[in-house]
Homo-oligomer: A and B are copies of this chain.
Amino acid sequence: MGELFDPLFGMDAVAAATGDRAWLAALCETETALARACARVGLIDAPVALEIAAACEEAAAGDLAELGRRAVAGGNPVIPLVDELRDRVAKRAGEDASAAVHLGATSQDVLDTASMLITRRALDVLLPDLAACADACADLARTHRDTPMAGRTLLQLAAPTTFGALAAGWGSALDRGRARLSELRSTLPVQLGGAVGTLSVLHPNGLDVLAAFAEELGLAAPAAPWHTDRTTITELAGALGTSAAAVAKVAGDLVMLAQSEIAEVQEARPGGSSAMAHKQNPIAAITARAAAAQAPGLVATVFAAAAPELQRGAGPWHAEWPALTGLLRATGGAAARLRDSLTGLRVDAAAMASNLAALGDGSGTGHSGEFVDRYLAGRRT
């Protein structure tokens, strides 16, 4: 939503990683990598590739609004960017050199590949936050392995458990979320297929260019172009949704446990109110929930867009860009705010004991300690 609202949703860092300037940089980086790949395969001269790289570097600092206006006519920013790059290269190295820009590629190649770069950058912001959240939960589980508290089912006092067992469940979900995202991060692929996915312009060197292009960007080289197979995007969306849900669970529980009537946890820096001076709102957890609440609808949007028509979707493809970007921001924001909430969290074991006493159930905490141990042991492997 911009600089007025992004910070409170924890989205400022991930918004920077996925913003206009980052997209332009990713588009330019992709064109540079393509030129280098073509040079390595011998399709263009090395000095021309250097000129293209220089032009890309200039273009990456260009006027976003102007490029945005010029993107309207063709429906994507790659078309005017390629025009601009060709102009720049022509000025630097002559008309002939300009033909080497964007060689054999189509807009979707550049946009899809750039979206993988954007995803990687966003995950590099998001995953450390998720890891910090998970580590904080592991610390809570360890510290409070044997801290008894009342378990609440259907929001009614139920039977004794430990705060450690609850925190272990939180951490377990967060770990599963980030394990999947890490796995997907390590296999993010380039896309390169040319007009309809045959790489005909680069034939018979297309497979070599594809491999070199992937190496240049540190992305995976797919067996074949995936312009029509959007499972790369849907698996990302599903994994982001799982991580957002894992965050929402922890944040929701923190909000519940911080209720005035329960008061078993308190954030280190609770929020105030414009009307009530005494309020101690667990505002980081609250805004983590709000950020995470954006995710399910965005996941649905990505999934609904995942059946583009034939060789390139007439709308579905374009619909992915804001939805995937929004999903990275929602999940990233949620993780960042949950990290804030968990950092320095005050756990009031005495309040837990007191609330448990009200339940009057002396049945003990069973295997909760062993479950914590198993969870912690599972993290070390």
Contacts and interface: CB of A to CB of B under 8 A. Distances in A.
A281 B157 CA distance: 10
B242 A239 contact: no
A164 to B, nearest CB: 11
A197 B368 contact: yes
A375 B206 contact: no
A241 interface: yes
A107 B273 contact: yes
A275 B69 contact: no
Contacts of A294: 301, 319, 322-323
Given A169-B226, A176-B229, A323 B297 contact: yes
B230 A245 contact: yes
A68 B207 contact: no
A97 interface: no
Contacts of A296: 297, 299-301, 303-304
Contact of A252 (B102, B255, B309, B366): B309
Nearest to A376: B223
A349 interface: no
A152 B317 CA distance: 14
Contacts of A244: 303
Interface string A287-308: 1111111111111110111111
Interface string A257-300: 11111100000010111111001111100111111111111111
A93 B325 CA distance: 46
Given A293-B305, A370-B207, A160 B200 contact: yes
B305 A231 contact: no
A238 B234 CA distance: 8
A275 B223 contact: no
Given A8-B75, A155-B314, A206 B367 contact: yes
A82 B277 CA distance: 14
Contact of A374 (B73, B152, B224): B224
A109 to B, nearest CB: 9
Q: Lowest 4 A-B CB distances belong to which pairs?
A: A238-B238, A151-B196, A200-B366, A289-B315
